[in-house]
Structure 1
Amino acid sequence: MSRARKAPTGILGFPVAPFNKQGKLDEEALLQNINFLLDEGLEAIFIACGSGEFQSLSQAEYEQMIEAAVSAAAGRVPVYTGVGGNLSTALEWAQISEKKGADGYLILPPYLVNGEQEGLYRYAKSIIESTDLNAILYQRDQAVLSLSQIKRLTVLDQLVGVKDGAGNMDLNINLTYTLGDRLGWINGMPMAEVTMPAYLPIGFHSYSSAISNYIPHISRMFYEALKDGNQDAVKNIYEHVILPINEIRKQRKGYAVSLIKAGMEIMSLNVRNTARPPVEPVEIDHYRQLETILKQANDRFPKKAVTV
């Protein structure tokens, strides 16, 4: 099968896993979330990844989420899934992703264990070789591969990109200047808008945007201003939106996921401020702070002022 071997660029959408009052996956809310991101012009959908609470999904829910994303995208943008954890499950879910019609997958870290570089290489290689799908490495936590190991993996045509969630700029500069455009480079740091000004000049032209789930027009405004060198606009959005939200996000573990859901609920999207343990919902004081920030942000940066 012939595939376009290129990582998506631009602002990448990471839908959440909406749960109903019984704690079950709400497929209608999920489809609304995905269609909202598509309508807002996000360049790819990454389903059942970190924002989608990958670690808490059953296989049936995983399949349900992929089916929803592939159906909604309908070939308009690429759909990537999350695969990771123990190797057996990662290989099985990679096969499911291929069977369900995904375009690729994001390789999440293996569970718990800190492996040597050779072990991390073999883990990634086994997954990448298991299907014809495009693969993107996610550099984070206990799974950060060195330049030499990633270079070894580039012999595999399926490897199209690297997403960085570790923030090692020394390594990132070595990667981008050594491997160049052989791979696509994605900023996957927590609330990636915060660090994007440091990533863009070294070749990272994509990022995963948490706030795109509820204020995508502001994420788009920020990225366009950054690319255009409009420092006044970048500073304005930093001061009134990005940094205040990031301050709340840093208050509790798990807010990288649950704060997205809270923001969506505040913006009247069909998602509740709930998450599966060990992730906790956003506390009421932090929720009210986010409400204030979002109201002021939408007053200051109205959607009608943005051209996509």
Structure 2
Amino acid sequence: MGHSTGIAKGILGFPVAPFTEAGKLDEHALFENIRFLVEEGLDAIYIACGSGEFQSLDKKEYKVMLDTAIAAVAGKVPIYTGVGGNLRTAIELAAISEEKGVDGYLLLPPYLIQGEQEGLYQYAKEIFESAPDLDAIIYQRDNAVYSVETVRRLAAFPQLKGFKDGIGNMDLNICLTQEFKGRLDFLNGMPMAEVTMPAYVPLGITTYSSAISNYIPHISRMYYDALLAGDQNTLDALYADVILPINSIRKQRKGYAVSLIKAGMEIIGLQTRGYVRPPVVPVTKEHYNEMEQIITKALDKYPRKEKIAEIKES
């Protein structure tokens, strides 16, 4: 289905993988969660990526997550999948994604290895070549930091449509955006991307993945509109009331990037109890209570309007 127009822009939704107490994937909850994101106006769905606990899913669960996302999205917004880790597995997941007819995939880092640039290039190249019909987005993070030279080599593949930054090296980002403006679409994929978005907008990067959109999507939208409109007063208020308080809890423990989202979803009454798979740990009672206070205050001050009637036709 490869799109020549590039990748979906705006606020990107990254659903979690809801599990039951017995540790099984909860398909019904997943369907409801994704439908909520689409109805709330998110611009694309990225299924089975980092927040979807990609690293702990088996292939059958991966397929179920894709099928559920396709059913819940019902063609309203583009769908991208998570592909990465072990090279052979990544190629299989790209094949599954291609077969399901999604729009593209986010290339997650290879398993554990700190690869040379040549190794990262070959890793991406083999995956790109294995699924020529899918749009690919490189995810720069952890052990996968691509140099400008490596991105230049990978840009020879028409499948490469996007570059998602999870490192925050602005020197590198400026070099990349200057060189690949018009060739690649850039996304802010920093942890709690709302914190850093004002630094990305001047580089022409207006698309980001939002963790908090899983439970307070209307606040993500309010933040985004204020950001693009240059409305500093609204931004300052949202930073003080919502974004920075949640971010300071998120930084307390490793794995909170995932489990804090589940806690937030549970707090607003979505069908996701906070079960996670190791090595991710659930949110402590104390942090859960802090989150509850932040969210309750936020919903009080920034109430959610009745459901958006017109879901974006696309």
Question: Structure with the greater relative contact order (CA < 8 A, sep ≥ 6): 1 or 2?
Answer: 2
Aligned residue in 1 for 2:180 = 179
2:255–2:280 contact (8 Å) kept in structure 1: yes
Q: CA deviation at 1:100?
A: 1.3
CA distance in 1, matches of 2:264, 2:155: 38
1:161–1:184 contact (8 Å) kept in structure 2: yes
2:2–2:104 contact (8 Å) kept in structure 1: no
Aligned residue in 2 for 1:42 = 42
CA distance in 2, matches of 1:305, 1:296: 18
CA distance in 2, matches of 1:283, 1:17: 19
CA distance in 1, matches of 2:89, 2:181: 32
Aligned residue in 1 for 2:83 = 83
Q: CA deviation at 1:4?
A: 3.5
Q: CA deviation at 1:205?
A: 1.4
Q: CA deviation at 1:3?
A: 3.3
Q: Structure 2 vs 1, CA of residues 305 and 23 (structure 1 numbering), >3 Å: closer, same or farther?
A: closer
Moved over 6 A (4+): 305-308
Q: Structure 2 vs 1, CA of residues 213 and 68 (structure 1 numbering), >3 Å: closer, same or farther?
A: same
Written as runs of structure 1 = structure 2, the 5 A alignment for 1:1-308 is 3-131=3-131, 132-304=133-305
1:5–1:157 contact (8 Å) kept in structure 2: no
Aligned identity (percent) is 63
1:163–1:185 contact (8 Å) kept in structure 2: yes
Q: CA deviation at 1:265?
A: 0.2
2:39–2:307 contact (8 Å) kept in structure 1: no
Q: CA deviation at 1:299?
A: 0.8
Q: CA deviation at 1:125?
A: 1.1
CA distance in 2, matches of 1:20, 1:264: 15
Q: CA deviation at 1:130?
A: 1.2
- CA RMSD between the two structures: 1.4
1:139–1:162 contact (8 Å) kept in structure 2: yes
CA distance in 1, matches of 2:128, 2:63: 20
Amino acid at match of 2:44: A
Give a deviation string over 1:148-181, Cα, whole Å, max 9, x none.
1101111111110000001111100100011102
CA distance in 2, matches of 1:12, 1:263: 17
Q: Structure 2 vs 1, CA of residues 18 and 53 (structure 1 numbering), >3 Å: closer, same or farther?
A: same
Question: Which range moved further: 2-11 or 155-164?
Answer: 2-11
Aligned residues: 308
CA distance in 2, matches of 1:43, 1:87: 29
1:7 match: secondary structure: coil
2:2–2:103 contact (8 Å) kept in structure 1: no
CA distance in 1, matches of 2:19, 2:143: 29
Q: Structure 2 vs 1, CA of residues 95 and 305 (structure 1 numbering), >3 Å: closer, same or farther?
A: closer
Q: Which runs of 5+ in 2 are unaligned?
A: none
Q: CA deviation at 1:305?
A: 9.4
What TM-score comes out, normalization by structure 2 length?
0.96
Q: Structure 2 vs 1, CA of residues 2 and 257 (structure 1 numbering), >3 Å: closer, same or farther?
A: closer
What TM-score comes out, normalization by structure 1 length?
0.98
